A and B are shown apart, each in its own frame.
Chain A
Amino acid sequence: MENQVIKVRNLVKKFGRFVANDNLSFDVYEGEIFGFLGANGAGKTTAIRILSGLSAPTSGEVIVAGFDANKQSEKIKKNIGYMCQKFSLYEDLTVKENITLYGGIYGMSKQLIKERTGELLEKLNFRDYENRLIADLPLGLRQKLAFSVAILHEPKIVFLDEPTGGVDPITRRQFWEMIYETATRGINVFVTTHYMDEAEYCDRISIMSEGRIVALDTPEQLKKQYKAASVEEVFIKIARPVVN
């Protein structure tokens, strides 16, 4: 069997009487791009917050990058990258300052930060923007930069919580190219989205509904299983019956 980078067994998260995550169990294997799909309020963000150590599970076993989320969340934090729905760079700092700040927070040496900054700016064609404030950059560029910053310290896993919200289709396309490139470098990508076309790009996807995982497989298998032409159809077939 391949190596698991994330192992979740019987994860439950309750807020008072509300059950946000109801008995989740799944694995993410090394090198995978793992997609988390679901309508708003399905429990995606809660799950990603638990996996990234932001929030403690009510019960269940959660192992991320080899560490137990119940006891070793500090160690998990050093080995993951995170990019959230909301934009996560400081608008009143320059591109370079943001990179330096996050590099520093993750304990990278000055030398290393400098090297990586150079590579990163080169790769994104960002040389001219180095000393520009983030506030002056268009949204697409900011989003790409935010992703690059999230993987600056070469984490084992990077969590992307709806990273492409509000971005134009071309930038989304480029963004996914970056995600692929990242995965080939050996960084696992765990991404939540509600764009169904994006789900097609993932190696495996899990579909959540009302706090539960209702389907989990490769996009091809799911389409076959539900006799659907696209993941979107799969999603509608799975998610709808509950409502109607």
Chain B
Amino acid sequence: MNRFLGFIKKEFLHIFRDYRTLFILFGIPAAQILIFGYAVSMDIKNAGIAFLDLSHDEITMELTDKIISSGFFKKTETLLSYSDVDKVFKKGKTKAVIIFESNFGKKLVSEGKASLSIIADGSEPNTATLVTNYTTAIVNNFNLRFAGDASLNSVRIQPEVKMFYNPNLKSHFMFVPGVITLILILICALMTSVTITREKEFGTMEVLLVSPLRPIQIILGKVMPYFILSFINVILILALSWFVFGLPVKGSMVLLLAESMLYILMSLTLGILISTLSGTMQQAIFISLIGLMLPSILLSGFIFPIENMPKVYDYVSMIMPPRYFIVIIKNIMIKGTGLAYIWKETLILIIMTAVFTGISVRKFKIRLE
């Protein structure tokens, strides 16, 4: 036991002496959370919007006011004719133009319907979609009040269901779980694979293997510090998202931490597996970053919904651990559900951990030969 403790202490010394390791461990997660939370925000705020009001009546004025006062938009210009639309987009500040047809108010009162066009700048597809969604929602809302009870059922559902768990449309509610998922697997796998291959590359691994330490002790000793630090990391990220974004954990904190531990463990065993596959630190870094990062971002459902992918990608994503953890963490953090809803994902992560461990142990032995 003493041997083992001394060995763990040494690993901590490595980490604390190398400011780069510390930065990767703690600096990057904090930076990611802040970047994703603020810069890559999917919310719109003060998006430029222009109006072409061919009717100029009370109702169009009221609706215009409503859109501007929503806080999402800022009025850039008032247009006079259709030909101005192209010009205003070319200036770049305007993301959408709202056009009220002539006699908008009259038609609405007499016929019960009037048409309004929302033209968005398609060169920025993301913003365009968001802007049209937001304006549609505002208009629907307006409709609702205007039309009274008759159409209530038909319009109410759409905007509300979509944002049910995120009533204020705050996208960092979605991002924080995603970032935690991504960061943990990257850092754990990267760090462990690098720390193990470093010993191989420097020749110290041989000396350790010749020593009375058992291979399992060597591996555990190398991984344990990262397990502890990653766990602290989770707590830090959660604290950061709470203080900066006011993101609460709705479900059980204990369950969330336990699931995080499982996920960290899975990522660490994945890192060990990567280290057995790579001979140098460069290879380990390459496999961890390229092999894990892109698929994790693209195929885990972090940014792009898996339901919308072609079936092939759906199958590919099934072997991506982040896919499961993201479900778990979103369920616990945002919906507040318990283990009953996420036992399947949990089980899959447990199986993955077991498989990675199994393969690593085998590989490690073969290498000793």
What are the residues of chain A within 8 A of B209 when measuring CB–CB?
54
- Assuming A56-B369, A105-B6, A105-B211, is B206 touching A82 (CB within 8 A)? yes
- Assuming A101-B10, A105-B6, A105-B7, is B213 touching A84 (CB within 8 A)? no
Q: Does A86 contact B (CB under 8 A)?
A: yes
Q: Does A77 contact B (CB under 8 A)?
A: yes
- Assuming A54-B368, A55-B369, A87-B202, is B210 touching A104 (CB within 8 A)? no
Asked if B206 and A100 sit within 8 Å, CB to CB, the answer is no
Interface string of A49-87 (1 = CB under 8 A from B): 000111110000000000000000010011010111111
Segment among B13-21, B26-34, B285-293, B347-355 that sits at the interface with chain A: B13-21
A53 to B210, CA, bound (A): 7
Q: Does B310 contact A (CB under 8 A)?
A: no
Q: Does A218 contact B (CB under 8 A)?
A: no
What are the residues of chain A within 8 A of B207 when measuring CB–CB?
82-84, 88
A187 to B10, CA, bound (A): 28
What are the residues of chain B within 8 A of A195 when measuring CB–CB?
none
Q: Does B203 contact A (CB under 8 A)?
A: yes
Asked if A92 and B210 sit within 8 Å, CB to CB, the answer is no
What are the residues of chain B within 8 A of A78 when measuring CB–CB?
212
A104 to B213, CA, bound (A): 10
A90-125: which have CB < 8 Å to B?
90-93, 97, 100-102, 104-107
Please tell me which one of the listed residues A56, A100, A105 contacts residue B212 in the complex, with CB atoms under 8 A apart. Answer: A105
Q: Does B90 contact A (CB under 8 A)?
A: no
What are the residues of chain A within 8 A of B2 when measuring CB–CB?
104, 107
A85 to B207, CA, bound (A): 11
Please tell me which one of the listed residues A55, A84, A90, A104 contacts residue B368 in the complex, with CB atoms under 8 A apart. Answer: A55
What are the residues of chain B within 8 A of A106 when measuring CB–CB?
3, 211-212
Chain B interface category by residue count: 20 to 34
Interface string of A165-195 (1 = CB under 8 A from B): 0000000000000000000000000000000
- Assuming A56-B369, A82-B210, is B203 touching A87 (CB within 8 A)? yes
Q: Does B70 contact A (CB under 8 A)?
A: no
What are the residues of chain A within 8 A of B7 when measuring CB–CB?
101, 104-105
Asked if A77 and B212 sit within 8 Å, CB to CB, the answer is yes
A93 to B13, CA, bound (A): 7
**Which chain A residue shows the least CB distance to B10?**
A101
Asked if A84 and B10 sit within 8 Å, CB to CB, the answer is no
Q: Does B252 contact A (CB under 8 A)?
A: no
Interface string of A119-145 (1 = CB under 8 A from B): 000000000000000000000000000
B187 to chain A, nearest CB (A): 20
What are the residues of chain B within 8 A of A91 when measuring CB–CB?
202
Asked if B10 and A74 sit within 8 Å, CB to CB, the answer is no
Asked if B203 and A85 sit within 8 Å, CB to CB, the answer is yes
What are the residues of chain A within 8 A of B14 when measuring CB–CB?
90, 92-93
What are the residues of chain B within 8 A of A82 when measuring CB–CB?
206-207, 210-211
Asked if A77 and B211 sit within 8 Å, CB to CB, the answer is yes
What are the residues of chain B within 8 A of A100 when measuring CB–CB?
6
Q: Does B59 contact A (CB under 8 A)?
A: no
What are the residues of chain A within 8 A of B118 when measuring CB–CB?
none
**Which chain A residue shows the least CB distance to B202?**
A86
**Which chain B residue shows the least CB distance to A98?**
B10
Interface string of B193-213 (1 = CB under 8 A from A): 000000000111011111111
Complex A-B, nearest 6 residue pairs according to Cβ-Cβ distance, in ascending order? A86-B203, A104-B6, A82-B210, A88-B207, A92-B17, A105-B211
**Can you show 30 pairs from A to B with CB atoms below 8 A apart?**
A54-B206, A54-B210, A55-B368, A56-B369, A77-B211, A77-B212, A78-B212, A82-B211, A83-B207, A84-B206, A87-B203, A88-B204, A88-B207, A89-B204, A90-B10, A90-B202, A90-B204, A91-B202, A92-B13, A92-B14, A93-B17, A97-B13, A100-B6, A104-B3, A105-B3, A105-B6, A105-B208, A105-B213, A107-B2, A107-B3
